[in-house]
Chains A and B, each alone.
Chain A
Amino acid sequence: QQPVQSPQAVILREGEDAVINCSSSKALYSVHWYRQKHGEAPVFLMILLKGGEQKGHEKISASFNEKKQQSSLYLTASQLSYSGTYFCGTEVGYQKVTFGTGTKLQVIP
């Protein structure tokens, strides 16, 4: 079963912050985050493992609450290049990743 992402879409002005949430009904080994720009393949952003801490780089970070089976992606001081569709992927079995329906993010000047 696919994880549920929220919001489905969000529009930001440059410099604003955003949070994208991902929730699963199953126990998770890990959570992956990917970004897909229009007409391109998804690109890996980060993975959060059970027992792991908040991960991130630059202005994109994420957290993973194992007990609640939830993850959140934090985008700080958004840039135009952040525009795209963000997918969370939940690993419910070894190397079996199921992706959510995606969150479309648009950053405008």
Chain B
Amino acid sequence: DGGITQSPKYLFRKEGQNVTLSCEQNLNHDAMYWYRQDPGQGLRLIYYSQIVNDFQKGDIAEGYSVSREKKESFPLTVTSAQKNPTAFYLCASSIDGGQGYYEQYFGPGTRLTVT
């Protein structure tokens, strides 16, 4: 079955530690995304990547870093510079279906708690 996997589902870290969230897809999608979800604020774009070895900052990239060394993988590192890292993190991917049509497929998410 094709899909997006995120691991782990729940993650706990101490303040001041960097943490990396995993995102893998076997849909052969070119584009991948990271969103952060907080209550009442919807989904906010952190980073996105349209092709391997290239990525762009989203609306809230400060305190985060990503890499895209392989088409199927797009890990997100939450650094100690992120002021309020506790949130629900969603990874997504998409492929251009032509004529501007595409849809995003989301992974199940990782809930990160930093204390």
Contact = CB atoms under 8 A, between A and B. Distances in A.
Contacts, number: 63
Contacts of B1: none
Interface string B25-53: 00000010101000011111100101000
Given A41-B108, A44-B103, A44-B104, A101 B58 contact: no
A29 B110 CA distance: 30
Contacts of B31: 95
A94 B96 CA distance: 10
B64 interface: no
A42 interface: yes
Interface in B72-109: 90, 94, 96, 99-109
A1 B42 CA distance: 12
Contact of B33 (A50, A97, A101, A102): A97
B106 A99 contact: no
A96 interface: yes
Interface string B5-24: 00000000000000000000
A69 interface: no
Contacts of B105: 44
Contacts of A30: 100
A41 B23 CA distance: 14
Given A97-B45, A102-B43, 5 more contacts: A1-B59, A50-B100, A96-B48, A97-B104, A98-B45
5 contacts: A41-B109, A47-B103, A97-B33, A99-B45, A101-B40
